A and B are shown apart, each in its own frame.
Chain A
Amino acid sequence: MKPFRILYFLLTCSILSNGCAPAGSLMHEMEADLKPDFRPLDSSSGTFLFRAKIRLTGNNYTGIFLVKQVQADSTTRIVFLSEIGLNLMDLKYKRDTFELISVQDFLDRPSLIRMLKADFGTLLRDPGDLQGTDIYYKRDEPSEMIQFRYNSRKYSYFHMKGRGVYRIERRSGPFSRTTYSIDRTGPMNILIDHGGLKPDIELIQIPRIDR
């Protein structure tokens, strides 16, 4: 029976861990000037161009992700391009809602599109803009962390002065966790690990974009 007890203990811990709010203060109660920017990608600050590698079992996709805010309608466009410049997928993002503009047949897979929407939503969303969501804040020098629940998922954003947001965790149950590791020491590198056999995505910022 011992293995079952251990399993029960682990499951219970996991559920408890996932179900309880972390110790800390409500972010909304913080002084505004103390609140760091927890938004990983601020599309209003310019055009982001990423070299993209999507690794699945037996399927590898590479290309370029372009992330750009369109001033005219305040939307953000996320376009996946092939290396030779052809459009593979085009998404429009505004107020946490995505619209699929176009997608090539071979990428037209609901699970893949859903995954990309969730990932770019996590990267583009400003947690401070979420209405009606309690955001818990914790400082553990030199790190700061926020946690909140949104759309049945639990998010943890880790921030460090000088590094910005360097890690995000998104949980949608005790066994489903996606982690985003963000390294800005050189060109920004974002590694998205969906866990298990799900795809890994690596985004490497391409710093140069010519006018």
Chain B
Amino acid sequence: MILQAKCTVQEATIAQEVGYGIEEEGIPYAVEKEKGFSAEDVYHQAQRSPLGVCILVEDARIWLFARMLKEKRPLFLMEIEQLAQAREMGKNAARVIKHRPFV
């Protein structure tokens, strides 16, 4: 699941790129937009999500939460400089589920 915090154009572009990364790895996903999503929300979403992974895009920052991490800290936290990095994050999100080494 991909969430966008501020629903800006930049976030939408990054979220889409993350989505392409997940798609290339063959994993289904959903995008949700709602102003004011916080890291805490994403953590709870990850717990509820059927595949146990949730991503938050906040400006150019990506938070990747996985259910199996009990503490409230992300598996990846990354400042995006190039769109290719967002694609990689998407692949990594899918690989958590597929149990494949990260990019």
Binding between chains A and B: no
Binding site for B on A (CB under 8 A): none
Residues of B within 8 A of A (CB): none
